[in-house]
Amino acid sequence: MTVRSNRAAIRLADYYMGRDREYRAELTPELRANARDIVKRVNRLLKRAGMARKVSSGWRPAALNATVPGAARGSKHISCLAIDLEDRDGALDAWCMANLPVLEELGLWLEHPKATRGWCHLQTRPPGSGNRVFEP
Ligand SMILES: [Zn+2]
């Protein structure tokens, strides 16, 4: 029963989105460890939810993040502590809201679905408020 056998699982390469080549110098060992960690936790979540999802936004090098409309300057995507998953029907967001103890168990925090229509933002560090579900 390993995630490796799950063909729908998110891979590290999906998280890097090819940016690990162009921005190699920014991708420190700490960030690589963070990336492996979030991919592992999110795959566990998707397995529990029984859903497959694609990465709509993974790692954002700082220079790139600065060009993303509406992206926070201190975005956790920069440090490989956040991920956005495609969620057009909102089913994953809804599942997360209905299963907050699972997020707690896996060490994940969710941006409130009303602020993320069409995608689901998860992160591996608490926001300033410490709330499991937070407003941006
Ligand atoms: Zn995000």
CA of 85 to the centre of ligand 1 (A): 8
Residues contacting 52, CB < 8 A, separation 6+: 8, 46
CA of 24 to the centre of ligand 1 (A): 21
Per-residue pLDDT at 57: 95
* CB 85 within 8 Å of CB 117: no
| Domain of residue 41, CATH code | 3.30.1380.10
Count of domains forming the chain: 1
Query: What is the mean pLDDT for each group of 10 consecutive residues in the chain (136 residues)?
Result: 64 97 95 98 98 96 88 90 98 98 98 97 96 94
CA of 74 to the centre of ligand 1 (A): 11
Per-residue pLDDT at 71: 82
Q: Which two tokens stand for residue 112?
A: 């409130």
Q: Which domain holds residue 102?
A: 3-134
Per-residue pLDDT at 45: 98
Q: Residues lining ligand 1 (ion), CB within 5 A?
A: 82, 84, 121
Counting beta carbons within 10 angstroms of the beta carbon of residue 115, is it exposed (0 to 12), middle (13 to 18) or buried (19 or more)? Answer: exposed
CA of 15 to the centre of ligand 1 (A): 12
CA of 82 to the centre of ligand 1 (A): 6
Per-residue pLDDT at 3: 47
